[in-house]
Structure 1
């Protein structure tokens, strides 16, 4: 059996981007490890959500542990950096923010986990951080360097299919009248021709949805994610997309752990 590591920027990112792949890997008997760069302390929360004396970092850590249990994670690690906020926020340059972290230093921390785990596979964000978020861009830089330091054999960027996802979300909004975010201002995901892997996770879609649901502070039940009817949710989130250098162009992989049994 193999060890699958996914490196994420904030609590909840894992469930959205690779939650299904994680669950499928666990179901196949592989070891799943989740590493999160920041505590997500700048996430927006509903008023009155936190208990007296409770911090958002503590809440989001607990939510991540709950999601990890659902998704079959055997080891959860936080690197301890601070959430940098959206691009251009003053928190980008705050002491301890992930955006200001030294890439070599952060990569060494992650590489130590990869070596200890004898990781066979790692996933991290694409070079634009999915949608231009500084912490996600930094996850790409740190993840790529850590994989080099640890000589991890299979290295994937998790991303989204810019062409297919946009079209599907718009069809959903038009068909149901649901309100979805305006993504036109973002360079979201990657064009289909750059993608090399697609993992069908519809057979574990309820686990993926439960992982997302565990992050109540960030993904409330009334969010456009979770309020989708089952059939639409399976279409919108039932495929997870990846890029592996040297494997393209075109979809060449549907199982990131193929041949590692």
Structure 2
């Protein structure tokens, strides 16, 4: 069996981006490892959710552990950096912010985990961080360098199919009347022509939804993620998309762990 590592920016990113592949890998007997760069200190939180004396970092760590259990994670690690906030926020340059961290230093920390785990596969964000978030962009830079240091054989950028997503969200809004984020002008994900792997995780959308639900501080039940009808949730989250490092464009893979039994 193989070891699959996914490197994420904040608590909850794992459930949204690669939750299906994580649960699929675990069910197939592979070892799943989750590494999170930051504590998610700058996430929004509903009033009154935290217990007396509880910090948001503590709550988000507990939520991540709960989600990790749902997704079959055998090892969860936090690298200990601070949430940098959105691009242009003053927190980008704060001491300890991930965006402000040494790429080499952070990569060495991640590489140590990859070497210890003898990782066969790693995933991290695409070069635009999915949607331009500084911590996600830094995850790409650090993840790529760590894979080089550790010599991890299979390296994937987790991303989304921009072309397919625009149409899907428009159709969802038209069919249900739901309000969705304004995607006009947004550059999230990558064009279909740049993708190399498409993984069908439709059998694991229930697990993805439960893992998202575990992150109650960030994804409340009334959020547009969890309030979606089951049919639309399955359509939105039943496929996960990747770009394999060193492989040309065109969908050539449907299983990141193929041949690693």
Q: TM-score, normalising length from structure 2?
A: 0.99
- Correspondence 1:240 to 2:240: yes
Alignment of 1:44-193 (within 5 A): 44-193=44-193
In the other structure, the counterpart of 1:21 is 21
Pairwise CA RMSD: 0.6
CA distance in 2, matches of 1:199, 1:21: 7
In the other structure, the counterpart of 1:4 is 4
Offset from partner CA, 1:187-234 (integer Å, 9 cap, x none): 110000000001110111100111111000000011111111111100
In the other structure, the counterpart of 1:37 is 37
Unaligned runs of 5+ in 1: none
CA distance in 2, matches of 1:245, 1:116: 22
CA distance in 2, matches of 1:184, 1:24: 33
Offset from partner CA, 1:172-196 (integer Å, 9 cap, x none): 0111000111122421100000000
CA distance in 1, matches of 2:27, 2:244: 23
- Give the match's secondary structure for 1:50: coil
8 Å Cα contact 2:154/2:245 also seen in 1 = no
CA distance in 1, matches of 2:8, 2:142: 11
CA distance in 2, matches of 1:161, 1:258: 22
- Correspondence 1:220 to 2:230: no
CA distance in 1, matches of 2:16, 2:86: 18
After TM superposition, the structure 1 stretch with the greater mean CA deviation from structure 2, 243-252 or 114-123, is 243-252
Deviation at 1:245, TM superposition (A): 2.5
- Give the match's secondary structure for 2:127: coil
CA distance in 2, matches of 1:211, 1:26: 14
- Give the match's secondary structure for 1:208: helix
CA distance in 1, matches of 2:246, 2:119: 20
- Give the match's secondary structure for 1:190: coil
CA distance in 2, matches of 1:47, 1:197: 40
Q: TM-score, normalising length from structure 1?
A: 0.99
- Give the match's secondary structure for 2:16: helix
CA distance in 1, matches of 2:54, 2:260: 42
Unaligned runs of 5+ in 2: none
CA distance in 2, matches of 1:85, 1:246: 31
- Give the match's secondary structure for 1:183: coil
CA distance in 2, matches of 1:111, 1:98: 16
Offset from partner CA, 1:15-59 (integer Å, 9 cap, x none): 000000000000000000000000000001111111111100000
8 Å Cα contact 1:21/1:199 also seen in 2 = yes
8 Å Cα contact 1:132/1:186 also seen in 2 = no
